[in-house]
């Protein structure tokens, strides 16, 4: 089963014009790894456009917050017009951008309640970014029609990695060509197509577990076992009318390697080397690559994604099926609650100037939407005396089923805090039960295996879910996603003897250990 539909009101057909141009600048990054891709120069404001700055806040971020919220009636442009570019960021009261290892924008989704979404029932999702802070820019000649009567809301998830409260503003800059501008008269309308490997899911995530997939990479949904149990391919959308695609860039969290956009046309044959393996009628349209500046590898938010080059203009036909897949690195670590999203922009009813992707390859390499960001400079992984190496600590044997409370951001037994010298131990076949006693305060914790001794400083690249034997409790808490719905988690009974170190994925400074002893 596939979802189809075109729910946007018929667009006014206007004549083509050129307004500004996207110019690629030389690749420059500060710190970390050099970029393999050119960085799009998106600083110039397109001709005829105005750049408007908006903020939502102050937003109080509770200690350990990792919940999903909505803000209604967010600031909007004061004039009708066409939006041609958009970007987002966070700021504190003093104007600085918070370091990503302290507070990060898990995601922001800008939603227009006055228009229907193209790929899901519900209001229109027209812009989104996570901590990778991808910038959206439409190619010259196209714009997203905006009316002051539109009603916007913001769906946001801010993640406080620390145990202290904080306050931030979500900022967004919009490049808009006012309707009264002569430049507006020549624009063609563009509409957002939300493509998502878990489109329509309340919390659109999946887990990419270390060692799964092929050759150290895991592609969703292709490598997943029964990714869509009710038979709806959530990663697909049937194109309701002819048109051209204009631009896209992907969203992935750390561990993500690339998002891929595909087009299936019944009876067509993709050009040589451009077909999806095993599907000659499915052609590759674009690969949005996560290019890591992170010195520790493909493991942190220190990356940017590539967006389509300015010349990208695939023609799509009514009845074609657009689909998305996303690929993660599973050599190094597990990546829990992962995503694969691409907001694709389309000009409905326009095919002039486009390229038929079944005749000529269109999947040229893209351009990064920005370079290395200074808020990503705290990588972690350095030696510290803050933690005790518990792999050599003495055991204190506890009965199987012993409850270990988690309270005030600490594991009650086996806490890796400096000075602790013992770990709780059970015999093989037994279990320990972790219980999150902070859950009533809306604070979620995890027990996630990390490679022993897991005792280095916290940062965006440390610790990782990189233990030899993987386990993860999910986010212990109630109240809906991302919480698992349970405040307890039991250690798997099949662990072989050894000392196991773990951390909290939400608060990476939280570390602990337990031991499994041979059967007595
Ligand atoms: Cu925690």
CA-CA distances (angstroms) from residue 487 to 23, 477, 480?
51, 5, 12
Å from CA of 448 to ligand 1 middle: 10
Å from CA of 56 to ligand 1 middle: 26
Residues around ion ligand 1, judged by CB within 5 A, are 445, 504, 506-507, 510
Å from CA of 489 to ligand 1 middle: 14
Å from CA of 494 to ligand 1 middle: 25
Å from CA of 106 to ligand 1 middle: 16
Å from CA of 487 to ligand 1 middle: 12
CB 117, CB 8: distance < 8 Å: no
Distance of CA 310 to the CA centre of its chain: 24
Give the three-state DSSP class for 149. Answer: coil
Å from CA of 14 to ligand 1 middle: 53
Residue 47's pLDDT is 86
Q: What is the largest CA-CA distance in the chain?
A: 84
Å from CA of 390 to ligand 1 middle: 19
Strand partners, 307: 249, 367
Sequence-distant (6+) residues with CB within 8 A of 486 are 474, 476, 478
Å from CA of 507 to ligand 1 middle: 4
Task: For the chain, 520 residues long, give each residue's pLDDT as a single digit of tens.
Answer: 343 333 322 222 222 222 222 222 323 333 455 667 777 765 678 889 999 999 999 998 887 666 778 888 899 999 999 999 999 999 999 999 999 888 888 889 999 999 999 999 999 999 999 888 889 999 999 999 999 999 999 999 888 888 888 889 999 999 999 999 999 999 999 999 999 999 998 888 999 999 999 999 999 999 999 999 999 999 999 999 999 999 999 999 999 999 999 999 999 999 999 999 999 999 999 999 999 999 999 999 999 999 999 999 999 999 999 999 999 999 999 999 999 999 999 999 999 999 999 999 999 999 998 888 888 999 999 999 999 999 999 999 999 999 999 999 999 999 999 889 899 999 999 999 999 999 998 889 999 999 999 999 999 999 999 999 999 999 999 988 889 999 999 999 999 999 999 999 999 999 999 999 999 7
Residue 2's pLDDT is 41
Å from CA of 409 to ligand 1 middle: 6
Sequence-distant (6+) residues with CB within 8 A of 506 are 64, 66, 159, 161, 444, 445, 446, 475
CA-CA distances (angstroms) from residue 89 to 2, 192, 278, 372, 485?
35, 21, 41, 14, 31
The encoded tokens of residue 95 equal 């104007």
Å from CA of 460 to ligand 1 middle: 15
Residue 5's pLDDT is 35
Sequence-distant (6+) residues with CB within 8 A of 337 are 203, 205, 207, 253, 475, 482
Å from CA of 61 to ligand 1 middle: 15
Å from CA of 408 to ligand 1 middle: 9
Å from CA of 486 to ligand 1 middle: 14
Residue 429's pLDDT is 97
Q: What are phi and psi of 226, to 5 degrees?
A: 50, 60
CB 249, CB 306: distance < 8 Å: yes
Please give the Cα distance from 185 to 182 (Å, whole number). Answer: 6
Å from CA of 183 to ligand 1 middle: 51
Å from CA of 508 to ligand 1 middle: 7
Q: Which residue has the tokens 């920005």?
A: 370
Give the three-state DSSP class for 17. Answer: coil
Å from CA of 310 to ligand 1 middle: 43
Å from CA of 481 to ligand 1 middle: 15
CB 253, CB 327: distance < 8 Å: no
Å from CA of 254 to ligand 1 middle: 18
How buried is 79 (Cβ within 10 angstroms: 0-12 exposed, 13-18 middle, 19+ buried)? middle
Å from CA of 64 to ligand 1 middle: 7
Residue 42's pLDDT is 58
pTM for the whole thing?
0.90
Å from CA of 381 to ligand 1 middle: 18
Nearest-10 Cα torsion for 507, 154, 439, 132: -20
How buried is 419 (Cβ within 10 angstroms: 0-12 exposed, 13-18 middle, 19+ buried)? exposed
The encoded tokens of residue 175 equal 């490049």
Å from CA of 304 to ligand 1 middle: 27
Q: Which residue has the tokens 């690249």?
A: 461
């Amino acid at each position: 089963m596939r979802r189809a539909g075109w729910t946007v009101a018929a667009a006014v057909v206007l004549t083509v014009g050129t307004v500004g141009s996207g110019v690629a600048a030389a690749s420059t990054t500060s710190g970390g790894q050099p970029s393999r891709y050119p960085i799009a120069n998106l600083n110039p404001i397109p001709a005829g456009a105005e750049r408007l700055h908006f903020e939502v806040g102050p937003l109080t971020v509770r200690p350990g917050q990792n919940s999903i919220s909505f803000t209604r009636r967010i600031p909007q442009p004061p004039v009708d017009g066409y939006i041609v570019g958009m970007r987002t960021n966070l700021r504190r009261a003093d104007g600085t951008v918070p370091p990503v290892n302290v507070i990060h924008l898990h995601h922001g989704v800008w939603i227009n309640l006055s228009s229907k979404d193209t790929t899901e029932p519900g209001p229109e999702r027209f812009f989104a970014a996570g901590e990778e802070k991808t910038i959206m820019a439409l190619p010259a000649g196209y714009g997203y029609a905006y009316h002051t009567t539109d009603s916007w809301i913001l769906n946001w998830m801010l993640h406080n990695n620390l145990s202290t409260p904080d306050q931030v503003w979500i900022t967004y800059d919009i490049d808009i060509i006012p309707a009264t501008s002569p430049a507006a008269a020549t624009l063609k309308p563009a509409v957002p197509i939300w493509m998502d490997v878990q489109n329509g899911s309340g919390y659109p995530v999946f887990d990419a577990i270390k060692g799964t997939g092929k050759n150290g990479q895991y592609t969703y949904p292709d490598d997943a076992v029964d990714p869509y149990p009710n038979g709806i391919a959530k990663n697909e959308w049937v194109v309701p009318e002819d048109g051209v695609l204009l631009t896209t860039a992907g969203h992935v969290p750390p561990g993500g390697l690339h998002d891929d956009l595909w087009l299936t046309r019944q009876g067509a044959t993709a050009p040589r080397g451009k077909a999806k393996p095993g599907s000659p009628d499915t052609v590759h349209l674009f690969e949005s690559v996560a290019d890591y500046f992170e010195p520790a590898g493909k493991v942190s938010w220190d990356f940017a994604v590539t967006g389509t080059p300015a010349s990208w203009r695939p023609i799509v036909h009514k009845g074609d099926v657009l689909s998305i897949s996303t690929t993660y690195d599973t050599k190094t670590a597990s990546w829990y609650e992962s995503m694969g999203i691409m907001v694709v922009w389309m000009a409905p009813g326009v095919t002039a100037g486009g390229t038929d992707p079944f005749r000529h390859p269109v999947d040229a390499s893209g351009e990064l939407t920005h370079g290395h960001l200074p808020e990503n400079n705290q990588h972690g992984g350095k030696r510290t005396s803050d933690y005790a190496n518990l792999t050599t600590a003495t055991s204190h044997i506890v009965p199987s089923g012993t409850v270990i409370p988690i309270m005030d951001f600490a594991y009650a037994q086996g806490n890796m805090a400096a000075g602790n010298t013992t770990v709780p131990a059970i015999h093989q076949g037994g279990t320990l039960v972790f219980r999150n006693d902070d859950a009533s305060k809306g604070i979620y914790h995890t027990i996630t295996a990390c490679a022993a001794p897991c005792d280095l400083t916290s940062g965006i690249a440390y610790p990782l879910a990189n233990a030899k034997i993987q386990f993860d409790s999910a986010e212990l808490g109630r109240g809906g996603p991302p919480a698992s719905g349970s405040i307890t988690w039991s250690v798997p009974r099949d662990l072989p003897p050894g000392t196991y170190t773990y951390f909290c994925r939400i608060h990476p400074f939280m570390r602990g250990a337990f031991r499994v002893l041979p059967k007595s």
